[in-house]
A and B are shown apart, each in its own frame.
Chain A
Amino acid sequence: MTHRAGADIGGTFTDIFVIDDLTGEFAIGKTLTTPDDPSRAIETGLLETLAGAGIPMESVGQIIHGTTLVTNALIERKGARTALLATEGFRDSIEIGRENRWELYDLQLEHAEPLVPRYLRFDVPQRTLADGSARKDLDEAYVERLAQELAEAGVDAVAVCFLNSFANPEAERQARAAILRGAPDMRVSISSDVAPAIREFERSSTTICNIYVQGRVERYLRDLESRLAGAGFTGSLLLMLSSGGLATVETATRFPVRLLESGPAAGALAAAAFGKAAGHEDLLSFDLGGTTAKFAVIDRGQPLLAHSFEVDRRYRFKKGSGLPVNLPVIEMIEIGAGGGSIARVNALGLLKVGPDSAGADPGPVCYGRGGTEPTVTDADLVLGYLDPAFFLGGGMALDLDGARQAIKARIGDPLGLGVEEAAWGIHQIVNENMASAARIHALERGKDPRTLPVFAFGGAGPVHGFRVAAALGSPSLIAPFGAGVMSAVGFLSAPLAFDFVRSFPGRLGDLDWKRVNTLFTNMEAEGEQVLGESGVAAEAITFHRIAEMRYVGQGHEIRVALPAGNLGPDLVPRLQKDYEAEYARLYGRLGPPVAVEVITWRVVATGPRPEMTALAGGGGSTDAEAACKGTRRAWMPELGGMTDVKVYDRYKLAPGAAFPGPAIIEERESTLIIGANADCRVDANWNLVAELARAEAAR
């Protein structure tokens, strides 16, 4: 059982990546996703990949899986008929939301439609106060009766979110028991289990998302388990979480909302693993597909975690327009920029690219499927970055003339620019948009983007990665082999991990350390239990403790690491010092002279992180000239425009191969573009690394 397999279900393809942990030999498989029954594609893809590589199923010890099922169920509103039980007077918290407009000037805006319609939201006689005391006890008989009626009405999922339940979960637990007395088959999630932190709107929303998708996820995972067992798999099936940790099927079924965004999370993990192998512990992960670009900061070999995000944004990329989910998630920024992004000249006579996209249908003009508005892909084609005859390895012919005409008519002529200049403008502006987003994202996390190598993947990542890196002032670009299956690779670099959180605010000077120690003991015991269920021995678990701190009166916390063991007041000076150092790093100087408090306490319980074995088994030679297929005319502004650029075959470049830019490096799923004045080499993991130290900036 020396093999592990990663399986990532995407919108179009299901990717399989199998690696032999002893030798580093790997196999890649791609099969069409089967939306009606997604587990079928995993079975097919896995069997095909194993057969192709001559690996028997019995030697696969672990399959790690990420799925967009939860995201899709929420976006398409294909979850259970769900009810909400709220503290009386507060059933509308998910509809009232934050009471603001996230776009100041748009009078036509819409809020995200709540998952639970108002007629399924109920006031329950009960009230817990901020200190956890009960102002009014729960009317259990009422809840029981309500549950019976809900079951009769065909409701099969209930979320319970009572005010201040993060301070005392008792009433929610009583409510769950009462619901199950009234309706024994009802699925129930209580907010103090799912996301026990302050803010009723966000906590309710998270709890609802969880129970809304639970039935679907459970059916799917059971089905997948039995399919894999039927195919002879006897190892363990694990699920990737949005936090980048792994969980068993049991845990994933209890908290399915934690499966959200697990594919993108895995991409960031792959960037971390490959970056580490290449000697870069800090870098910027850059995933560019057809409609969106995603960036994640990798810090000391790990992606960063955020504790809230949004799904189903009504206005795709606008903060505030989606359903809030407050859970640990690998922090990334997603913007509406990709191959399909549409370019237009706006009322100010400026060139704008995105965020609207031509999508896959009609797609870019050059797809020849009726698209009329020029896109980023059209510009890339006009600039010679894509080969009209070798798109998707020659699987799809591109209409160069169509792309040229559209860019001329809609961009070049109105701006008084030639076709190539206009196409370069599109290319440059989409890169700038992405770089701007990445820059803010990095700076908000206290990182200077000019020190971070860019790790580029996704279908269009390699086409734009070099210029994005240049716009950011990055020292280098790292382009992995097999950029198209990076998420599946990333699954294999994740450890088993789970996060726990407790709210227990107190000023540094007068914390109840006994209570704090109890919180940590309990969270760590839970961690041992959850990870133990999937076979991690207690002594192999590491616990990472975090205090989220702020000046008394602030609303946002910064994270400070805590030591293991019994904590006490002697820790206070160190905590104060660590807090101040982090604050000064983020905001330039200290805040006013007021006390510091801790708001929440977190534990991340992590099993051993699998060592990524150096990939082995690729072909090629160290002589780059041998891999050169010829030349192609491509736009290199630093060389004055269209120029002959060498085209290399990625499959013929082995570790050690080196060559200067400009260069075009082709593989089946993507094309890598390197500008002039850069040095390229292939590293031990088959990554292509371009040093930008001598490169000109993008403009």
Chain B
Amino acid sequence: MTARTIDPITLEVLWNRLLSVVNEQQVALMRTAFSTVVRETQDLACGVFDGRGRMIAQSLTGTPGHINAMATGVKHFLSVFPPETLAPGDVMITNDPWMTSGQINDMTVVSPVFKKGKVVAYFASTCHAPDIGGRLFSGEAREVFEEGLRVPIMKLFIAGEPNEPLMQIIRANVRTPDETIGDLYAQMSSNAVGAHSLLAFLDEFDMDDVEDLSDAIITRSERAMRDAIRQLPNGVYTNESWSDGFDEPILVRCTVTVRDEDIDIDFDGSSPQSKWGINVVLNYTHAYSSFAIKTTVSPDVPHNHGAFLPVHVTAPAGSILNCQEPAAVASRHIIGHFLPGVILGALQQVMPGEIIAGSADPIWISVWHGRENPGKDPFTFNLFQCGGMGARATKDGLSATGFPSGVAGVPAEVVESLAPIIQTKRELKPDSGGPGARRGGLGQYSEVIAGYDGPLAVSALVDRIDHPASGVLGGGAGAPGVYLVDDAIRPQAKAQIPLKSGARVRLDPPGGGGYGDPFTRNPDLVLRDVVFGYVTIAGAARDYGVAVDYIGRPDALVRMPTDYRIDAAATSSLRAARRG
């Protein structure tokens, strides 16, 4: 079969089959994974690559930083281990930040697929390891060497048997040996599940390899991506946003140039490489930049090598978005998660209907480390939380929903079954959604305490405490995040801090920004928000110019929609006053 002979109908059939193969791979990965990071929060990516190392399909979910970085990273494996150096049953691994997804916790595992003695494809997955040694996951390191064990591109399994010396080295260097090793087994197993299905598929269709199929997939995807870009007016669009940074704010500035059917995204003007562990490798910058373009310009185009080709991402060497060795990078997602929002903001002039207002952006990760009593093993637990998404042109933003990351939260009951910490609160935070004609998604109000008397430390990788999510086209900013100990002490974010016995840790992920002028929001929608407790009565007047009265019993526990009403006259004057 050659590329020319694959007619559109056969191509659709084969392509579908390939997608079902990678989804099988992901299902197996989640079902066999050990860490909550993989199985509950889905901080992972799965994909299949052709014999030349080009990604041809990815699984349905996962997180863009992993998917896209993995897609561009597999070529490094091929150069270290060309096909002739691989045997059936070999599995390769690395967590080198500069080759893959920019963080030493991210393990990429790649398995070749053999057919008739020849490598015909590769399956790969990237997962966030629950621990990789070094400092507790934080932004405190000054060099990557402090952040844990770096595994160069090596064989994890050799001809089907574990590479025991490597396994022993990993075990000896991490705080969660069973989980870290268990996840590597899951990655290996799921690649094998994918390979098994791919071989059955090749046999069924009498194909020797996937090269013609991959050519067809990549060519068509690239063409569709280019056609979509062509719809945009040529021009140069810029935007910037601030992260709280570690000890000083970090500027992320982008210039988006639309040139016919190509898009250049350049980050010149962004802050220089930081001395803390929040630096981003170019591979990861590229990953979130191309995600931003895809999600706005061409959400329907399948994601593969071809879809990346028209998007060109650059940042000066030494920039925080193209950091150089030995920069510390553990918390690179903090900065990386800002990129889609910044790029969407730049595109607001040309695609106001497709973009969204600023979101909470970085996912909130807090790493809890302690020991219940001297007789017990110490524990390390990663808690993931999400703030609000920005409002859309025609819809309110989604509350407590991660963007741009695709990861999920962890149920409180699962948290408490695995670690001796207690969540005492986890609710939507009123008035935290940025006001707008469309309101931003709400952030959360949450609190965690230790479930025992004994040593506990937390490292909270959180942001937007000083720099809230911005609104667009007249919309207001979302509420900033809150990170407090005992409601008073504001600890250093992105660093590990010891907690006193009985300490209460507030972790309120921020709200999303609003879209459009809040004083034009339909008062009935504002009333509904008050009834639902998304917006307070004071907030309705202050942020929206809508006067809502509560007319029910003052001490009532149950407050129904009929217990509230809009004061039309007061609303008119509030709204007029601002116009005036």
The interface of chain A, by Cβ under 8 A from chain B, is 88-93, 95-102, 104-111, 117-120, 122, 127, 129-130, 135, 145-146, 149-150, 152-155, 163-164, 166, 198-201, 346-352, 415, 425, 428-429, 432-433, 436-437, 439-440, 443-444, 473, 505, 551-556, 586-589, 591-592, 594, 697, 699
Contacts and interface: CB of A to CB of B under 8 A. Distances in A.
Given A130-B417, A428-B9, A554-B34, A119 B42 contact: no
B412 interface: yes
A349 B10 CA distance: 12
Interface residues of B, number: 104
B412 A119 contact: no
Nearest to B16: A436
Contacts of A91: 427
Nearest to A146: B557
B27 interface: yes
B24 A108 contact: no
A118 B532 contact: yes
B33 interface: yes
B8 A428 contact: no
Contacts of A95: 399-400, 428
A196 to B, nearest CB: 12
B385 A99 contact: yes
Contacts of A415: 8-9
Given A99-B408, A101-B401, A555-B39, A89 B424 contact: yes
Nearest to B390: A107
A150 B41 CA distance: 36
Nearest to A438: B20
9 contacts: A89-B427, A92-B400, A100-B42, A129-B451, A350-B220, A554-B32, A586-B31, A588-B189, A591-B189
Contact of A588 (B15, B193, B447): B193
Contacts of B115: none
Interface of B: 8-13, 15-17, 19-20, 23-24, 27-28, 30-36, 39-42, 60-62, 64, 178-179, 181-182, 184-186, 189-190, 192-193, 196-197, 204-205, 220-221, 223-224, 227-228, 294-296, 299-303, 354-356, 384-386, 392, 394-395, 398-403, 406-409, 411-414, 416-417, 422-428, 444, 447, 451, 531-534, 556-561
Shortest Cβ-Cβ A-B pairs, 3 listed: A89-B425, A99-B409, A555-B39
Nearest to B295: A105
Given A96-B399, A104-B62, A350 B11 contact: yes
Contact of A556 (B30, B205, B227): B30
B402 A99 contact: yes
A427 B196 CA distance: 28
Contacts of A90: 412, 425-427
B13 A432 contact: yes
A555 B402 contact: no
Contacts of B354: 107
A117 B529 CA distance: 11
Nearest to A505: B417
Nearest to A135: B422
B389 to A, nearest CB: 8
A108 B356 CA distance: 9
B4 to A, nearest CB: 14
A100 B192 contact: no
Contacts of B394: 108
B402 A100 contact: yes
B414 A96 contact: no
Most chain B CB within a 10 A radius of its CB, from A90, A100, A551, A555:
A100
B33 A96 contact: no
Nearest to A83: B558
A434 to B, nearest CB: 11
A556 B39 contact: yes
A108 B392 contact: yes
A428 B8 CA distance: 12
B408 A100 contact: yes
B407 A100 contact: yes
A409 to B, nearest CB: 17
Given A105-B295, A145-B557, A444-B24, A551 B411 contact: no
A594 B180 CA distance: 12
Given A92-B427, A436-B17, A591-B182, A101 B451 contact: no
Contacts of A432: 12-13, 16-17
A258 to B, nearest CB: 22
A79 B72 CA distance: 50
B301 A587 contact: no
Majority DSSP secondary structure for residues of A touching B: loop
Contacts of A429: 9, 12-13, 16
A555 B409 contact: no
A111 B398 contact: yes
A592 B178 contact: yes
A140 to B, nearest CB: 14
A119 B13 contact: no
A164 B413 contact: yes
Contacts of A107: 295-296, 299, 354-356, 392
Nearest to A448: B200
Nearest to B393: A108
A447 B161 CA distance: 26
A164 B556 CA distance: 29
A613 to B, nearest CB: 40
A350 B12 contact: yes
Contacts of B16: 429, 432-433, 436
B409 A163 contact: no
Given A106-B299, A110-B398, A588-B193, 19 more contacts: A88-B425, A90-B425, A90-B426, A93-B412, A107-B356, A110-B395, A122-B558, A129-B422, A146-B557, A349-B8, A429-B13, A432-B13, A554-B33, A554-B182, A586-B31, A589-B189, A591-B182, A594-B178, A697-B204
Contacts of A551: 34, 182
A153 B560 CA distance: 7
B24 A149 contact: no
B295 to A, nearest CB: 5
A101 B406 contact: yes
B408 A98 contact: yes
Contacts of B384: 99
A597 to B, nearest CB: 12
Choose among A152, A155, A588 the residue with the greatest number of B CB atoms under 10 Å from its CB.
Answer: A588
B288 to A, nearest CB: 12
Contacts of A100: 41-42, 61, 386, 401-402, 406-409
A200 B356 contact: no
A104 B392 contact: no
Contacts of B64: 104
A119 B561 contact: yes
Among B20, B23, B41, B62, the one with the most A-chain Cβ atoms within 10 Å of its Cβ is: B20
Given A100-B386, A101-B402, A347 B300 contact: yes
Nearest to A587: B189
A587 B182 CA distance: 13
Contact of B179 (A110, A436, A553): A553
B9 A351 contact: yes
A120 B533 CA distance: 11
Contacts of B224: 347-348
A119 B533 contact: yes
A102 B61 contact: yes
Nearest to B27: A444
Contact of B416 (A111, A129, A149, A351): A129
Contacts of B40: 555
Contact of B411 (A110, A198, A473): A198
Contacts of B205: 699
Contact of A440 (B23, B42, B294): B23
B295 A119 contact: no
B356 A199 contact: no
Contacts of B62: 104
A69 B555 CA distance: 39
Contacts of B560: 119, 153-154
Contacts of B192: 587-589
Contacts of B451: 129
A164 B402 contact: no
